[in-house]
Amino acid sequence: MGAGARKIADNDHAYLRIENLSKVYATRDGEVRALNNISFTQRRGEFISHVGPSGCGKSTLLMIAAGLIPPSSGAVRVGGRTVDRPRTEIGIVFQSPVLLDWRTALGNIMLQAEARKMNRKEAAARARELLAAVGLGGFEERFPHELSGGMRQRVSICRALIHNPDHLLMDEPFGALDALTRDQLVLDLQALVSERRMTVLFITHSIAEAVFLSDRVIVMTPRPGSIDRIIDIKLPRPRTLAMRETPEFAEYSRQILELFLARGVLREHRTGAEKEYDNDRSSGFARLRNTAG
């Protein structure tokens, strides 16, 4: 549907342009973190992931791209215009669901509709559709405390999609979920996003997630965070769980992993590295890093 409206998605013009972006800021415990001279562009309809170690500033990068935090230098441009205030044409998903506990699942999604003065009836119908699409049909009137962590995050994804945003920004949206729930949500997200040919900027520290979902993966260095390499993922779509076991997929994962090993993000204690990197990801990495101590 709407093939004409979606034509723009196919042209090669950059939609988002990040230009020489740097950011230095102090965290609460006095530590200074930084993003160092980041530049990349994103086309319409493109799914870009940022992978990198914790503290490399990738979440900050996303917030700057959303216009929520000003950069120290450099610029974010969207459709040629410099971003100097919070962008409102976006949908945003945080690591925690950020639901309002006094609103039901439906009510939480409708907050977006209310803020944008959308037609209530149409918005509610669409919200129900979205909930059904992520397997939450029948949970419309549940309050957040009655939902599991995965369900809550699904609601927050629906909230980010109800207004058909031009740009979907996701900050480690599945970071707090268990492995199975993550797999399901990754599949759900792929379905939602490819159906609408959405432009997505996705932050993760899971290599598998990044490779699975993305058209391009931007690998970040440890702090100060800068772009290490941009990897094109040329796997056919739609991607399936079985694809994760293919040599192509493994090759992409290996490329990223090698970058991490080269930068000291990961350190191995014995040979036979192949065994260490199965698709299972952040928790595995955390374990590795802890033992590396």
Residues that bind other proteins (CB under 8 A): 63, 66, 68, 86-88, 90-92, 94, 96, 98, 100-102, 111-112, 114-116, 143, 145
Could you tell me which residues are beta bridge partners of residue 47?
200
63 or 257: CB nearest other proteins: 63
Q: Quick one: 98 or 250, whose CB is closer to other proteins?
A: 98
Encoded tokens for 188: 């759900």
Q: Please, which residue, 63 or 259, has the CB nearer to other proteins?
A: 63
Least separation in angstroms between residue 101's CB and other proteins is 6
Taking CA atoms, 43 is separated from 14, 79, 193, 205, 287, in Å, by 5, 10, 15, 23, 36
| Burial tier of 24 (Cβ tally within 10 Å: 0-12, 13-18, 19+) | middle
Query: What tokens appear for 59 in the block?
Result: 């979440």
- DSSP label of 197: T
**Per-residue DSSP letter, 83:** P
CB of residue 167 to other proteins, shortest distance in Å = 10
Nearer to other proteins, 173 or 252 (CB): 173
The rounded distance, in Å, linking the Cα atoms of 127 and 106 is 7
Provide, rounded to whole angstroms, the least separation between the CB of residue 98 and other proteins.
4
| Closest approach of other proteins to the CB of residue 83, in Å | 12
H or E element: which one contains 107?
helix 105-115
Angle between helix 149-161 and 179-196 (nearest 10)? 10
- Give the residue with the Cβ less far from other proteins, 41 or 96: 96
> Closest distance between other proteins and the C-beta of residue 145, in Å?
5
